[in-house]
């Protein structure tokens, strides 16, 4: 992690360039992927099989923001960890706290207030975004609202169900309803290598200033999906509260993997 100890000289140089211009020092990307995640799949997939109710706020029964990820076309990878010393301040996103609790919720176990997740996302992706912390979170939330995936799906008859299968083609067709966009659909498999496919994430291409939805510069349309996909229900009211006493240790992979999952996206 960028937060690990660095040589004092590097730290000093980092401070220097930071104080001159955070912009010039950090731009290494061409566009963003806005990654939206369906919690119904996150909470039902295996091995990530259960979720817990956050200790603050109420998660929305809707797509969550996972991250706004800067992407470099030349390297074919997301750009991560651009700060030598990463500093996340909750104060800077205080005005957004309701939206963060609703749409950027950490439903992993044990129950937690989400602060660790936001810090992880900021340190992993935000520091590379050429945006300030408050603007980074604000833009990502605004873009999520603008896209409004759930209503687009609903309009096309695609609603959460534990039994129904939807064609991937139908899902992609519905996504064409996002003006100016092209998207990448990502699925998760019930048993890792076999079983049903679950709709998991939608990656939407965003301009490098994080202001508008764009047509993706990279031709890639699906990740790990079959031709028939389930869209599992998610009811935040059913999430159990857990103190963590009987749960797995904090380092458990069940923690919302802001960085661990598909670094190439
Ligand atoms: C980085 O941010 C600065 C300040 O907002 C802006 O002037 C500049 O155009 C940005 N650079 C890119 C490549 O978006
Ligand atoms: C992408 O990464 C390469 C290698 O680090 C770098 O040379 C290039 O300038 C980056 N592209 C952009 C648009 O920043």
User: Structure pTM?
Assistant: 0.83
Average pLDDT on 150-175 reads: 95
Q: What are phi and psi of 80, to 5 degrees?
A: -130, 155
Judge if the beta carbon of residue 162 lies within 6 A of ligand 2. no
Q: What is the pLDDT of residues 143-158, one digit of tens each?
A: 999 999 999 999 999 9
Find how far residue 103's CA is from the centre of its chain: 10
26-244 maps to which CATH number? 3.90.730.10
22, 68, 128, 130, best to mutate for ligand 1 pocket (most atoms within 8 Å of CB): 130
Q: What is the 3-state secondary structure (H, E, C) of 164-219?
A: CCEEHHHHHHHHCCCCCCCEEEEEEECCCCCCCEEEEEEEEEECCCCCCECCCCCC
Please give the mean pLDDT across all residues of the chain: 83
Ligand 1 mean position, distance from CA 131 (Å) = 8
Q: Whose CA is nearest to atom 13 of ligand 1?
A: 27
User: Whole-angstrom Cα distance, residue 30 to residue 210?
Assistant: 11
Vertex 188, ends 256 and 245: CA angle to 5°? 35
pLDDT digits (tens, 9 = 90+) for 68-99: 999 999 999 999 999 889 999 999 999 999 99
Atom of ligand 2 nearest to the CA of 74: 1
Residue whose structure tokens are 């749409």: 103
- Report the alpha-carbon distance of residue 148 to residue 191 in Å, rounded: 29
Neighbours of 22 (CB within 10 A): 16
Please report which confidence band the pLDDT of residue 263 belongs to, taking 50, 70 and 90 as the band edges: very low
Q: What are phi and psi of 38, to 5 degrees?
A: -90, 115
At 10-62, the pLDDT tens digits run 444 444 444 444 444 558 999 999 999 999 999 986 655 589 999 999 999 99
Q: Which of 75, 79, 80, 217 to mutate to test the pocket of ligand 2 (most atoms within 8 A of CB)?
A: 75
Q: What is the mean pLDDT of residues 189-207?
A: 90
Q: Which residues line ligand 1 (CB under 6 A)?
A: 23, 27, 130, 208-209
Distance 122 CA to ligand 2 centre (A): 20
> What is the separation, in whole angstroms, between the first and last Cα of the chain?
18
Mutating to test ligand 1, I would choose from 82, 209, 210, 211 the residue with most ligand atoms within 8 A of its C-beta, which is 209
Q: Is the CB of 29 under 6 A from ligand 2?
A: yes
Q: What is the β-pairing status of strands 183-189 and 197-206?
A: antiparallel
Q: Where are the domains of the chain?
A: 26-244
């Amino acid at each position: 992690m960028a937060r690990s100890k660095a040589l004092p000289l590097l730290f000093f140089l980092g401070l220097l360039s930071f104080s001159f211009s955070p912009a010039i020092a950090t731009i290494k990307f061409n566009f963003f992927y806005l990654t939206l995640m369906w919690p119904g799949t996150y909470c039902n997939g295996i091995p990530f099989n259960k979720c817990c109710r956050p200790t603050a706020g109420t998660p929305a029964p809707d797509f969550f923001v996972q991250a706004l990820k800067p992407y470099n076309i030349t390297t074919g990878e997301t750009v991560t960890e651009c700060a030598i010393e990463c500093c996340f301040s909750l104060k800077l996103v205080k005005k957004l706290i309701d939206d963060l609790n609703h749409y950027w919720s950490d439903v992993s176990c044990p129950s937690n207030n989400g602060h660790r997740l936001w810090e992880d996302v900021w340190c992993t992706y935000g520091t590379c975004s050429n945006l300030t912390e408050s603007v980074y979170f604000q833009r990502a939330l605004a873009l999520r609202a603008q896209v409004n995936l759930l209503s687009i799906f609903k309009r096309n008859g695609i609603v959460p169900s534990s039994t129904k299968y939807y064609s991937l083609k139908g899902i992609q067709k519905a996504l064409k309803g996002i003006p100016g966009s092209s998207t990448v659909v990502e699925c998760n498999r019930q048993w890792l290598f076999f079983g049903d496919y679950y709709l998991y994430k939608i990656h939407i291409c965003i301009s490098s200033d994080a202001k508008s939805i764009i047509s993706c510069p990279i031709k890639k349309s699906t990740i790990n999906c079959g031709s028939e996909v389930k869209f599992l229900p998610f009811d935040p009211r059913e999430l159990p509260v857990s103190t963590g006493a009987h749960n797995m240790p904090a380092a458990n992979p069940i923690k919302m993997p802001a960085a661990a999952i598909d670094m190439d996206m």
